[in-house]
Amino acid sequence: MNGDALYNFAKKGEAQRMAAEELLKLLRACPYCGRSFLPQAHNHKYCSYECRWNNRAEVLQQRRNRERRHR
C-alpha cells in the first residue's frame, strides 16, 4: 500500500484519518530503489527481495574489488 492510497483513505473520516496518519508514520524508504513501503517487521529494510538481492550483490562486488586492489 503506497502513501497516496493511504492519504485517499484518510479523507473518509476523522478516525480513519488518524489511523491512516499512524500508518503513514510507519512508511519507510527502500535504501536501494528509494520506493516507500510499509514494513512487515521492525527489521524490514528493503521493499522487496529483488532490492535486497541486488544490494547484496553490489556490496559483495565492491568487497571483492577492494580485495583485488589490495593484493
| pTM of this structure | 0.63
Tally of domains in the chain = 1
Burial label for 2, CB within 10 Å (0-12, 13-18, 19+), is exposed
- Closest to 36 (Cα-Cα) out of 49, 25, 20: 25
Range of the domain at 40: 3-69
Task: Print pLDDT tens along the chain (71 aa).
Answer: 666 776 666 566 777 777 777 878 888 999 999 999 989 888 999 999 999 999 999 999 999 999 998 87
Please enumerate, as own/partner, the contacts of 52-55 that have beta carbons within 8 Å and a separation of 24 or more.
Answer: 55/31
